[in-house]
Structure 1
Amino acid sequence: MSEERVRYDAFHPGKLWLDTEGKRIQAHGGSVIQIDGVYYWYGENKEKTDGQNGIWHWGVRCYKSTDLYNWEDLGLIIPPEPEDPQSPLYPNNCMDRPHIIYNKKTKKYVCWLKIMNSANIQSETILTADSILGPYEKVKVGFKPLGMNAGDFDLAVAEDGKAYYYFERIHSELICADLTEDYTDVTGYYSTHFPRIAPPYVREAPAHFMRNGKHYLFTSGTTAYLPNPSEVAVADTWHGPYTVLGNPHVDDKSETSFHSQISSVFKVEGKKDLYIACADRWLPEMMDKQYSRYKRIFECIFLQNGKGMEEFEGDEPIVENTSISEYVWLPIRFDGEMAYIDWKDSWRLEDYPDEE
């Protein structure tokens, strides 16, 4: 059932965002790529993920736009495989944070997917296609880069065509690994960053971007769907060393990154210095008193080894319904090297200067 059709002329962070057909946009944990003057936004399709039916995803969905406000649904570019429980694309598997980069040498679009199966084994699935819209063919399944358990990640391509893979080595540190020339493997060369003792302190959800020759990384803590304070770090090279500058959400008294988690950052072409941080508000229903309960449950389970859970006996279970997740897209403000993200109820591209 479609919602009422609307046309947007501004961003409204945290509010319901519909496509041009009036349907809720489903491109979570995703990224935006520009091709021949058109923006493509792709991500996890959560339309069937109600938190109770066991479905984690329904493939990767893609949208296109020329103004960044209004998005046309192009359908599933990587469909789920519900008839094959052994497939990494089986809907009950946790498929997170698809990232697609273009290889000018092979003329292939290369997509990496983070997969966690029912046995809680995490690995990567890598696919390639001749078009951003597919069809995509699996070239690696069950891949463990550098022999490591890999979590949330980002892919980035340098001007010279060399590509890099930033990922969370599960519950320990962040890794930057060089990719092979075809972008479907790692070379073996890597660097380590932000070593932490355990969740929630370990950094995940890396989002890389470059500005004025500097490399930036936004990361979040490891607290599942519970939002937490972001960190921003800067370096002079792809492999760092990275210097942590602090929490970019300086005015966020809730210390939840405005109840969201950054998935990616992109620069708006034609604008002088406009970068947009794209974030997901995974559980919008948890922003009231339910949030405090959810946070307390997390603390009992992960920080107190289960102690204190008796206080929740008899409570209704928390339902992680991500089919209604919203988006928080905000511009990045720079002061020297520091990157800030300020809350805005609404904002427009037209309020930012064009490139000269």
Structure 2
Amino acid sequence: MAVFLLLLAPLAASRPVLQREPSFDAVISLQGSRPQDTEGNDVHAHGGQLIQQGGLFYWVGTSQKRLPAWTSTHINLYSSPDLVTWRHEGVLFSWEQIRGFPDRLPYGHLHNPPPPFRIERPKILHHAREGRYILYFHLDTADFEVPALGMAVSTNLTGPYHWVGHIFPDNNTSYDMTVWSEPGTDEAFLIRSCPVQTLAVSKLRDNWLDTTGSLCSETHVAAEGPAVFRHAGRHYVFTSHLTGWDPNPPILFGSEAGGMCGSRWRLLPRPSHGPRANTTYDAQSTHVFTFTFEDGDELLLWMGDRWQPHGPGSVGGASYVWLPLLPHAQGPGFELVWAERWSLRQYKGAVWDPTAGRVLFASGPEAGAVN
């Protein structure tokens, strides 16, 4: 999905905040694999988000999807000092906590009443003024019959999270979604796939627990898997076509003026080239994390899920793909660059040359190359 937050509130007492800079030398090599946590279990944080707090990174995402409907039972949280070693902090939320859903139907007839419920694409925002963390997720029945937005809150990032309720944003349905909070303001936004074949943006009310009642902008292009990021003062949405669990070419939108609302979304050149780029390296976007170096330079880290519906384990065997997302050296646009093994330091200051079709590293073609 799609939000980078520097979260300043204290962690739970059991986890002290580390007062040091997070590592940017560690080698990232998730491509098509699942790391194991410190207990030796596979990390399951699908459809998730990366959050930085103090000297730790936190990875939130759903548990392994299982048949008969490929649903997850809960939302996990992991922590890491280096994006390589992961500790399971616990279960943030379970579908068993949900009450009163669905209290009404936005359309049609509910053929297969829940439970179980479908919980997908979890994202967390920190509402500093109200001193709480808000967990958002796509809430639905197992057969995608009542697509809504579910919410839970906690006073700590690490939980526990308590069920608040669900909404149909702006009296409409909500499928794949993410959230975005505008730095330096109290403004936050919901971005989601709607059945009217568009990605819709809605501003959240002051408490961030509902939308204001009307769309404030939309792409007018059918898409899912949205991940929002900001670069050089403009907002972007990295997303994918509608092909279910099968991978497809990525889509990139850029705002032409203003913020998330009142802006036209321009379709930018496809942000990937080369072998397997037409399937986004067999993955689907879930989040773009902005890492800030000590000198203020920023690097975009793209996060995706490889659902592999036709591979070992099918959707239940999903793995991850994390790649650098580089701005174009000339003109608008970004490039998702394939790298089997890479580090944040290696791509510091790097850009993509669309004419030559290659990365321009800050200090030569293999600056900080990973062996």
State the TM-score, normalized to the length of structure 2.
0.76
Q: Deviations over 1:227-279 (max 9, x none)?
A: 11111111132122111112211224462111000100011132623110000
**Contact 1:333 1:340 survives alignment (8 Å):** yes
Query: How is 1:195-344 mapped onto 2 (pairs within 5 angstroms)?
Result: 195-196=220-221, 202-235=222-255, 236=257, 237-239=259-261, 240-253=263-276, 255-270=278-293, 272-283=297-308, 286=310, 321-335=314-328, 336-344=331-339
- Cα distance in 2 for residues equivalent to 1:71 and 1:247: 33
Structure with bigger helix share is 1
Question: For 2:203, what is the secondary structure of its paired residue?
Answer: strand
Give the whole-Å Cα distance in 1 for the aligned partners of 2:40 and 2:299. 28
- Counterpart contact for 1:14–1:281, Cα < 8 Å: yes
Partner of 1:174: 199
1:337-352 matched pairs, under 5 angstroms: 337-352=332-347
Change (3 A) 1:185 1:86: closer
Measured in 1, the distance between the counterparts of 2:244 and 2:48 equals: 17
Q: Secondary structure at the match of 1:349?
A: coil
CA contact (8 A) 2:137 2:177 kept: no
CA drift of 1:65 comes to: 1.1
* Aligned residue pair count: 305
Report the CA distance between 1:36 and its aligned residue: 2.4
When the two structures are superposed, what TM-score results if normalisation uses the length of structure 1? 0.79
Assess if the C-alpha contact under 8 Å between 2:254 and 2:265 holds in 1: yes
How many angstroms does 1:116 deviate by? 1.4
Alignment of 1:1-356 (within 5 A): 9-12=26-29, 13-46=31-64, 49-52=65-68, 54=69, 56-81=71-96, 92-118=116-142, 120-141=145-166, 143-158=167-182, 159-196=184-221, 202-235=222-255, 236=257, 237-239=259-261, 240-253=263-276, 255-270=278-293, 272-283=297-308, 286=310, 321-335=314-328, 336-353=331-348
Superposition deviation, residue 114 in structure 1: 0.8
CA RMSD of aligned residues (A): 2.5
SS at match of 1:39: strand
Q: Hey, what's the Cα distance between the residues in 1 that align with 2:205 and 2:217?
A: 18
In 2, distance between residues paired with 1:101 and 1:168? 19
2:10 aligns with none
8 A contact 1:81–1:87 mirrored in 2: no
Structure 2 runs not aligned, ≥5 long = 1-24, 103-113, 350-371
**For structure 1, which runs of at least 5 residues remain unmatched after alignment?**
1-7, 197-201, 288-318
Matched position secondary structure for 1:286 = coil
